[in-house]
Structure 1
Amino acid sequence: MTDTIIAAPEGRIARLRLNRPKPIHALDQAMCTAMIAALTDWREHPEIEAVLIDHADGRGFCAGGDVRGIASSAAGDGQAARDFFRTEYQLNHLLFTYAKPTVAFMDGIVMGGGVGIALPTRYRIATERTVLAMPETTIGLFPDVGGGWYLSRLPGRIGHYLALTGARVDGAEACTLGLATHYIPSDALDGVKAAIAADPQAIETILDAAAVTPPPAAILDRQPEIDRLFASDDYEEVLTALEADPGEWAAAQRALLATKSPLSCKVSLRLLADGSGMQSFADEMRMEYAVAVHICQRPDFAEGVRALLIDKDNAPRWDPATPEAVTDHMLDTIFAPLPAAEEWEPVRL
């Protein structure tokens, strides 16, 4: 067990607390393994009636995966990167299918891998401090950890807009879009957790009583524009629509997309198109794992991490450098299933 995860029963509930505050609780493989072990063990204990997931000190729930280490592996033989993604996706799937009630307290920053451990839970609490995003196209990846499942099921084309741009949504927007189930002021969370610990059978009643009406969701005011400008699954058509629009917002989105990996953007659109038709979350995870394995063999992931987090020059040299140079053949290769012996599989219980 790692000290970056605090996993402990507390009477009739069990607590999973992310405890790596300096990188905002960024996930590494040891943390994912520890959470899987705890959740698997707690399944067999009838006295544990619910699981609460939150973070210890720090300004956010989880800023994502520890991409520095993953990218370093991807630039080498890639085995550590494959191992991380396999384990992380097993954790995502275990939470998605967990029989006991699970509650994630999404207070503060919730990005990338943090989205992957929050959205599979049954109850997802947003606050006035919640900042949720899937910014993977900035570093040459794609919105994984179930992003193809969750984002493709948002209203209209909002999910496609979020996947391409990495735009952030606040707690009110997360609640309105269904990414969160309750909007509760941050100063009420300790009381809510104590009440659930005292009576886990009353989780829904407790959360409903503590929830307040969220502020208006600004993203809904923008939805007609999003639906129109991000209507196509063809990335070049999205760019053309943005360039043709005279508005300042469209120009800002076009400028933003110019900084993203063209390959990642095309992968993201295809991921959501395929994810919208997935019949099970396990099938989604199996597809995303194959995509992750293949995309890590290309240079954009390591380059994106270098530009954003290592050298911090914010000047990635993407390969391919333009959307037009990302061919259908490249995408077909990235989305090709893995050999049977290498495919992702859920945790065997």
Structure 2
Amino acid sequence: MISRFNSFKRTHIILQHLGMSKHTDAAEEVLLERKGCAGVITLNRPKFLNALNLTMIQKIYPQLKKWEQDPETFMIIIKGVGGKAFCAGGDIREVSNAGKTKQKLAQDFFREEYTVNNAIDSCRKPYVALIHGITMGGGVGLSVHGQFRVATEKTLFAMPETAIGLFPDVGGGYFLPRLQGKLGYFLALTGFRLKGRDVLKAGIATHFVDSEKLDMLEEDLLALKSPSEEKIANVLETYQAKSKIDQDKPFILEEHMDKINSCFSANTVEQIIENLQQDGSSFALEQLKIINKMSPTSLKITLRQLLEGSSKTLREVLTMEYRMSQACMGGHDFHEGVRAVLIDKDQSPKWKPADLKDVTDEDVNTHFKSLGSNDLKF
């Protein structure tokens, strides 16, 4: 049995890193360089697990667009420094402070972040994300919409937002419901963490390489002459073929997939909970304990986000998620989640409403209402 309480605590430790917004020189928080035939984006806030802030997002977007137009740039590579994290998410404490005081940052951060997520998806140059180390929230948004996502044995993937009164954004409503069976629904509601080769087996990464070979892999990519998508894929596949780490281990959730598919196929959170209770296995009861800690409002809006997102385009999903983000900024649970996890660190958020049955359809609907002229537009 996978011990989830430890991982729950560890997620809180990671989230705490995201709350430490001390500004270093913004110029150095993200490095943008031309190397060989590639544009290379390096997230450079290792002390904060390369958490994304608005200034970083505002530097990445125009450069991405420039490289996309540049005939001399044949691919884009994104990576993080420090070895611990690719990018552990967005700088949520800063966003919460701004949201509480109605500052524009709370609008701008999500608007510009989602604009970058869409730009990665529509990028006409091959985009290679080296997702080594912790890859959560905003870090998922910087990688999962690109063509190539390279995981290592140190990759740790999660979307832990329901634990802080938010929802798995950055296009989670698009990519999560498209994973096998109901896996994405399970990951979204529980914040379950996938490690190493399991990130590939889940369909989140496209390739897997040994972490000690990452530098060589990057050198080989940069040495390619005017590389096509095919040449890049060949290099990645060659490295993957040589990787033996956990090669024969089954997917960590393989034995539970039937349960996940049946329990998480319901259209309401209440029914999912009932399914887990009726299942009664130790795995189901473990998930139940975890879900019961999450923000009831977050659980309900997340399930609706995924159900609706399953038939929308990424742009439509990001427009929907932008509406949701702004409703969360104006609500109670996100700020309370940030308080409990990042500020007071008591790990016991007081959700309002505290009970699923008190989260009304009207409460849920307000998260999906058009913002009129303030809607996210592409």
Normalising by the residue count of structure 1, what TM-score does the alignment of the two structures yield?
0.96
> Deviations for 1:34-68, whole angstroms, at most 9, x for unmatched residues?
11021112122211111110012241101100000
Counterpart contact for 1:262–1:318, Cα < 8 Å: yes
Q: Alignment partner for residue 203 of structure 1, among 232, 257, 260?
A: 232
Q: Secondary structure at the match of 1:118?
A: coil
Q: 3-state SS of the aligned residue for 2:28?
A: coil
Q: Cα deviations across residues 141-198 of structure 1 (Å, max 9, x unaligned)?
A: 0000000001010111111111100000122222112211111111111111101101
Q: Please point out which of 252, 259, 267 is paired with 1:225.
A: 259
CA distance in 1, matches of 2:104, 2:70: 35
The correspondence of residues 80-229 of structure 1 with structure 2, limited to 5 A, is 80-199=105-224, 200-201=227-228, 202-211=231-240, 212=243, 214=247, 215-229=249-263
Shift of 1:250: 1.5
Calculate the aligned-residue CA RMSD, in Å. Answer: 1.2
| Length, aligned pairs only | 344
Which contiguous aligned blocks of 4+ residues in structure 1 show a shift greater than 6 angstroms? none
SS of residue matched to 2:145: coil
Question: Do 2:42 and 2:81's aligned partners in 1 also have CA atoms closer than 8 Å?
Answer: yes
Q: What residue number does 2:317 align with?
A: 284
2:365 matched to which residue of 1?
A: 332
2:375 maps to 343
Which of 234, 249, 252 is the aligned partner of 2:268?
234
Match of 2:60 among 25, 29, 35: 35
Aligned to 1:258: 292
Higher alpha-carbon deviation: 46-55 or 209-218: 209-218
Q: Structure 2: how far apart are the matches of 1:221 and 1:38?
A: 44
Q: Distance in 1 between matches of 2:46 and 2:165?
A: 25
Q: For the residues of structure 1 that align with 2:294 and 2:210, how far apart are their CA atoms? A: 34
The percentage of counterpart residues that share the same residue type is 37
1:57 corresponds to 2:86? no
Structure 2 match to 1:309? 342
Structure 1 gaps of 5+ residues are: none
What one-letter code is carried by the residue in structure 2 that aligns with 1:330? D
AA paired with 2:234?
A: T
Whether contact under 8 Å (1:78, 1:296) holds in the other structure is no
2:350 is aligned with 1:321: no
2:48 paired residue number: 23
Deviates further, 217-226 or 14-23: 217-226
Give the AA of the match of 1:337: S
The CA deviation at 1:78 is: 4.4
CA offset digits 1:213-259 (Å, max 9, x no partner): 64421112210111122221201111112223332222111111111
Q: Which amino acid aligns with 2:148?
A: Y
What's the CA shift string for 1:267-321, capped at 9, x where partnerless? Answer: 110000000010x211111111011111211010000011011111011010111
Asked if the contact 1:140/1:264 (under 8 Å) is kept, the reply is yes
Measured in 2, the distance between the counterparts of 1:2 and 1:38 equals 13
Q: Which runs of 5+ in 2 are unaligned?
A: 1-25
Q: Distance in 2 between matches of 1:21 and 1:208?
A: 29
Query: Residues 75 and 299 of structure 1 are in contact (CA less than 8 Å); yes or no, is this contact kept in structure 2?
Result: no
> What's the CA shift for 1:95?
0.4
2:170 is paired with a residue whose SS is: coil
C-alpha distance in 1 between matches for 2:176 and 2:35: 34
1:324 CA displacement? 0.3
Q: Is the 8 A contact 2:83 2:132 kept in 1?
A: no
Contact 1:24–1:58 (Cα < 8 Å) also in 2: no
- C-alpha contact 2:87 2:139 (8 A) present in aligned 1: yes
For 2:132 and 2:39, the matched residues in 1 are separated by: 19
Are the aligned partners of 1:71 and 1:81 in contact in 2 as well (CA < 8 Å)?
A: yes
